[in-house]
Chain A
Amino acid sequence: MAKGARFGPDAALAFSVTGLILAVPAALLPFVGAGKLGNERMSYLFTGVGALWGNGMQAVAVLVFLLGGLLPVALLLILACLHAPRSFGLTDGGAAQLYKAARTLEHWAIPEVQVLAVLVALMKLGNVVEVTVGPAFWCYCAMALSLILAQQSFNFEPPAPPGGTAAAQPQ
């Protein structure tokens, strides 16, 4: 049944729900703080997005928001729906659509790259300003890890409908 999956469908559901829960504090709590000559500054997950927007780089701001914020959450949501018990009312056609969306989002939901970028920035800033890592950063790291584990557990074969015909056909 779960061919190619590492942990199985129940684990995929658990990982995606965990990721969704972690996304809330990751977006709301302080992310990284910096101090320079007595000036303290606290940044949140989307502070950089706002700063880029304010600098007139709306396209890059939207891109960063999508790749590091919205799309990872959307992918977690889709993976959770695909692995939720069928009693929640997902039809086979709906599952096929969600499956296609998940295959596309795989390439665009990249929170792990944002984690590496923040680590690089922290090491780069280490000798210029004093940096403190806030709880949101750890929540974000855990969310990125949950997404990877949920994808690893996800069976990337098209869902097989009871009839046995190809499910991935567009309606």
Chain B
Amino acid sequence: MNQRFEFRSNANAGAFALAAAVMLVPANLLPVLDTQTSGNNRSDTILSGVIELWRNGLWAIAAIVFVASIMIPALKLAGLGWLLLKTRRGAPQDVGRLTRIYAAIDFIGRWSMLDVFLAAFLTGLVQFGEFSTVRARSGIVAFAAAVVLTVLATQAFDPRALWESPADSSP
């Protein structure tokens, strides 16, 4: 039991964050959803799906999906990377503010799962053969993996490291 793997460490947080950043590349480049409506086929990436919603006049929905699927993962990784850099450089002065940033990152992260639930729901509901069919594509697998990795990174990050200088922190 003494040799137990310690999940909560900033090295793990950095590794998860890096893996998440790598997974975000295929997540944004590969199609996430195929839509077929009366012989009209289209294959959407996350961004092209948002643009399509915007073009159809569904601005509020486009904004929600854009924030949840594009802004939050990017902001979360940037914020986490910044916190990790801060803790490596020794105890920062603005500990209270950094802790609030960590709490915010922790709270908003869940909403980026929106696109995965959306793809699952649409794939289950819209099955009308040749009239209208929706099918989830491989991009959603990469996106789901990226989101899970960002949540793991946030949980592995130890906010206590914000209070300690690197010399104090024991492994």
Q: Which residues of A contact B (CB under 8 A)?
A: 32, 34, 36-37, 39, 41, 43, 47-52, 55, 57, 59-61, 63-64, 67-68, 104, 107-108, 110, 113-114, 116-118, 120-121, 123-125, 127-129
Contact = CB atoms under 8 A, between A and B. Distances in A.
Given A61-B120, A118-B117, A125-B122, 14 more contacts: A32-B121, A36-B131, A36-B132, A39-B129, A43-B121, A43-B124, A48-B122, A52-B136, A55-B123, A63-B148, A107-B155, A114-B117, A116-B64, A127-B56
Given A113-B110, A121-B121, A51 B144 contact: no
Q: Looking at chain B's contact residues, is the secondary structure mostly helix, strand, loop, or mixed?
A: helix
B118 interface: yes
Contacts of B113: 67, 110, 113
Nearest to B127: A41
A52 B120 contact: yes
Interface of B: 37, 53, 56, 58, 60-61, 64-65, 68, 106, 109-111, 113-129, 131-132, 135-136, 140-141, 144-145, 148, 151, 154-155
Nearest 3 A-B pairs (CB), nearest first? A48-B124, A117-B117, A48-B120
B144 A60 contact: yes
Nearest to B151: A107
B121 A55 contact: no
A117 B120 CA distance: 10
Given A113-B110, A113-B117, A36 B148 contact: no
B127 A51 contact: yes
A52 B53 contact: no
B125 A124 contact: no
A35 B64 CA distance: 26
20 contacts: A32-B125, A34-B125, A36-B132, A37-B131, A39-B131, A41-B125, A43-B124, A51-B123, A57-B136, A59-B141, A64-B116, A64-B120, A107-B106, A108-B151, A110-B110, A117-B114, A120-B61, A120-B64, A124-B58, A128-B126
Contacts of B56: 127
